[in-house]
Chain A
Amino acid sequence: MSAIGTTHAAAAGGDHLDPAWRGRVIGAIVALLILWPMLVISEFKPWILFDSQSLQATGRFLAEFLVPAHDAEFLSMLAEQTWQTVAIATAGLSLALLGAIPATLIVTERLSISHVGTGRMRPIASVVRQTVRWTLVVLRSVPELVWALIFVRIIGLGPTAGVLAIALTYCGMLGKVYAEILESSDAHASETLLRNGSGRLAALLYGALPEAASELVSYTIYRWECAIRGSVVMGFVGAGGLGQRMDESLKAMAGGEVASMLLVFVVLVAIADQVSRILRKRLG
């Protein structure tokens, strides 16, 4: 008792030391100790960028880069490929939503009726939930590029492989993040609806969605943006779209064509950004 009293008095009488300070210092040291070997292992050597040979190659590429390709034939090809890329991203994302929305409904603990009043779920429900959760983990832990390589092997070169790869990976990501958005938004409304006897879908529609709608929408549009970038990367392995063309242009060191394609990406991302802003404004 007296010991507690003295420490308490010392702490109170002294400089009001932050009790969390020591933990923070130790945490920072541990983080450094872990991160340093990581830098070494990943062979992080930024100075290589600046030796004379690299600088020369960069210079040549950049010089060509300054004048984007703009002849009519190239532009019409570009438009067609851009459209294909947008189509791959949109179709992939729509398919992903078909899987992700039901998965979200199953995974979100908050919408569980057996949870009301007990804080626990029925064993069967929780097994189903865990299974779906793990399926989502598997779906998104395989990179979309790997899915694309697999599908290119199975169904051949072309956009279908890209669409399927995006659908699978993004289903995993969307399902997880949707569930997390729903669980981190204010539960009061949906909880009260459940407590008053509503079904889980009704509680979702009238309680959880209005709380989280703008976050859900903006995340979905951000994912669409990622799907566009992803479809480009997958194009490099033959899954269609702008990426496949960009691969060819890069191999030919045609800086101008690459520049035009990159400009298209900037425009697409800017459009996604704008759409997201408008929708958020309308919903918020």
Chain B
Amino acid sequence: MSSSSPTAASYQLRQLTVRHLAAGQAPALHTLDLIVAQGEHVALIGPSGAGKTTLLSTLACAQRPASGELSVFGVQPWSLGEAARHKLRARLFLAPQTPPLPPRQRVVTAVLAARLPHWSLWRALVSLVKPADPAAAFQALSRFNLGDKLYSRVDRLSGGERQRCGLARLLLSDAEALLVDEPLSALDPALSELTLATLRQEASARNATLICSLHQVDLALSHFPRIVALKDGRIVFDLPREQVTPEMIATLYQGEPPPASTPPGHADAQATLAVGACF
């Protein structure tokens, strides 16, 4: 899958290193090499703090790499001018883990905000008073069983509803790469299935690349043909799901001790571990 020609790749990463914006920290991502073809569906897995979120925001051109090469749809975003780079961002959609919805906004406005990159300021203003395309918002919401919440306020929604509302926004963007950060953290198993299925349908329907970070390894394996595993900012494996073994998963999540339950004798070792893990 990753052998497709470079021109059809939506993402090409070569020796990519990314640091957090706060100075003096160890790199969050270490010399990554990754090629993702247009229309491919990839699950990102790995323990907490592995760099999944940083990788997704780097792919969304929301974080500038420290070194290495990043090309998105064949162009290098950070050698573009600022306006061109911002235009490129409109072709990518990053759905952060916590839904970015202002509590006092109405759901319809929050969902239609996906269209903002393509709207004139006047259109945006008018849509605040009279929603521009409520039918489209309703359709997007109903695909996540939220059609009845169209005109509710965001702060009246439950955690899981907010999360799906954030994803409904994704359906309204016409992005060619969908970068989704842990879309299931507030959802029950049934809704998780529905959500992943909807995301994949949508990505296939518009031939968009879908890169989704997940904590639920079983769901990642059952829904995504390609699995990329990250740990400590490095890619541990990048394989079709058929080749991912339970041992690999066990090794991936090994060495993540629950901090409170270690015996006091290991206090020193624990301290160094904690320092290493909190980047």
User: Residues of A with Cβ closer than 8 Å to B?
Assistant: 113-114, 116-119, 122, 186, 188-189, 191-193, 195-199, 201-203, 205-207, 210-211, 213-214, 283-284
Contact = CB atoms under 8 A, between A and B. Distances in A.
B113 interface: yes
A188 B100 contact: yes
A189 B114 CA distance: 12
A192 B63 CA distance: 12
A102 to B, nearest CB: 14
B96 interface: yes
Contacts of A283: 104
Contact of B94 (A122, A196, A199, A207): A196
A197 B90 contact: yes
Contacts of B113: 193, 198, 202, 206-207
13 contacts: A116-B61, A116-B62, A116-B89, A118-B64, A188-B96, A189-B105, A191-B100, A192-B96, A195-B61, A198-B116, A202-B116, A210-B104, A211-B103
Contact of A205 (B86, B88, B93, B124): B124
Given A206-B109, A207-B102, A210-B104, A197 B124 contact: no
A119 B105 CA distance: 27
A67 to B, nearest CB: 49
A205 B128 contact: yes
Contacts of B104: 210-211, 213-214, 283-284
B270 to A, nearest CB: 14
Contact of B92 (A118, A197, A202): A197
Contacts of B86: 113, 116, 197
Contact of B117 (A122, A186, A197, A207): A197
Contacts of B125: 205
Secondary structure at the A interface, as helix, strand, loop or mixed, is: helix
B101 to A, nearest CB: 6
Interface residues of B, number: 38
B21 interface: yes
A241 B57 CA distance: 57
Contacts of A191: 100
Contact of A210 (B102, B121, B124): B102
Contacts of A206: 102, 105, 109-110, 113, 116, 124, 128
Most buried by A among B21, B96, B102, B104: B102
Contact of A119 (B21, B91, B93, B175): B21
Contacts of B96: 188, 192
A197 B87 CA distance: 6
A79 B92 CA distance: 61
B102 A196 contact: no
B80 to A, nearest CB: 12
Given A189-B101, A283-B104, A202 B119 contact: yes
Contacts of A211: 102-104
A186 B101 CA distance: 10
B98 interface: yes
A233 B102 CA distance: 40
B82 interface: yes
Nearest to A284: B104
B100 A113 contact: no
A16 to B, nearest CB: 17
A195 B57 contact: yes
B184 interface: no
B60 A195 contact: yes
Nearest to A201: B121
Given A117-B63, A122-B82, A206-B116, A193 B100 contact: yes
B119 A117 contact: no
Given A118-B64, A196-B93, A196-B173, A202 B121 contact: yes
Contacts of B121: 199, 201-202
